[in-house]
A and B are shown apart, each in its own frame.
Chain A
């Protein structure tokens, strides 16, 4: 065909520009695992709150009451959340590293560093903000704040990686915003955001980009 060269040229241009500006070694499996850890962590936190509230108010177990977090269990839940975060980060790095190796790319090439930088700024801001919430004992805002800042970080970084990641960020932000106005549902929203949404988008990414066509 006469146009074969031109088609090939456009294909090359698109591939190179994409590779040059987007970090494509992110693995969907990282999301699936992070989501699973979050659900397990949330379940542990839920049981802890339930037991604690039962001991405090044995006769009043309305659902909303059960999800209200007492300051004394806060530190247990924080430790729990930190474990989830640490495991997620380690697993995420592992899968990303594995995918990069398979594709013969370096994990922290220019695009990887740029994605990480744009991810880190909102996230670090959120981390400090959450410390302030702890300091002021505004526990009720903690779960929504983690969702909002994480969502912003993901949304921001999505410009430098797969587009779908941006929608995931918007969902996390939306759940966080709901949480601000619905005290007591923090844990449920948190499980939805960090758990269900992560698994969902992890599967979408994995299905679209990771899985080798048979």
Chain B
């Protein structure tokens, strides 16, 4: 069985962690690292590398600040990221619908 040619799944969202990060950022402004880590049950290093990938693609923006002396890094989805994620969701939907 071959995939329909018009369906363009975004490779960047194939990883479960990256998909999770984007899902969280779709519905919430500025989420911090630890919240994402707890929700997705990821390790520090693993999550950091996935976030770096998404940042490089400019799907999310990063804000570094301090709460007292503790650094706090928060993330927000970019317009490009939102677009790409929506396209990915559309593609998933089409793919599953095409089954029938």
Contact (A13, B95) CB under 8 Å given A2-B1, A20-B27, A21-B27: no
Interface residues on B, range: 10 to 19
Chain A interface, DSSP helix/strand/loop, else mixed: helix
Residue of B nearest to A111 (CB): B28
Determine whether A128 belongs to the interface, using a CB cutoff of 8 Å to chain B.
no
Residues of B within 8 A of A6 (CB): 92, 95-96
Residues of B within 8 A of A19 (CB): 39
Please state if B16 and A3 are interface contacts (CB–CB under 8 Å): no
Residue of A nearest to B89 (CB): A13
Contact with A along B34-60 (1 / 0, CB 8 A): 000001000000000000000000000
Chain B interface, DSSP helix/strand/loop, else mixed: helix
Among B17-25, B62-70, B71-79, the stretch that binds chain A is B17-25
Q: How far is the CA of A160 from the CA of B27 in the complex (A)?
A: 12
Interface residues on A, range: 10 to 19
A124 to chain B, nearest CB (A): 26
Determine whether B4 belongs to the interface, using a CB cutoff of 8 Å to chain A.
no
A interface vs B, CB < 8 Å?
Answer: 2-3, 6-7, 9-10, 12-13, 16-17, 19-21, 110
> 29 A-B contacts, Cβ less than 8 Å apart?
A3-B95, A3-B96, A6-B95, A6-B96, A7-B96, A9-B13, A9-B16, A9-B19, A9-B92, A10-B92, A10-B93, A12-B16, A12-B20, A13-B19, A13-B89, A16-B20, A16-B23, A16-B24, A16-B39, A17-B23, A17-B26, A17-B27, A19-B39, A20-B23, A20-B24, A20-B28, A20-B39, A21-B27, A110-B28
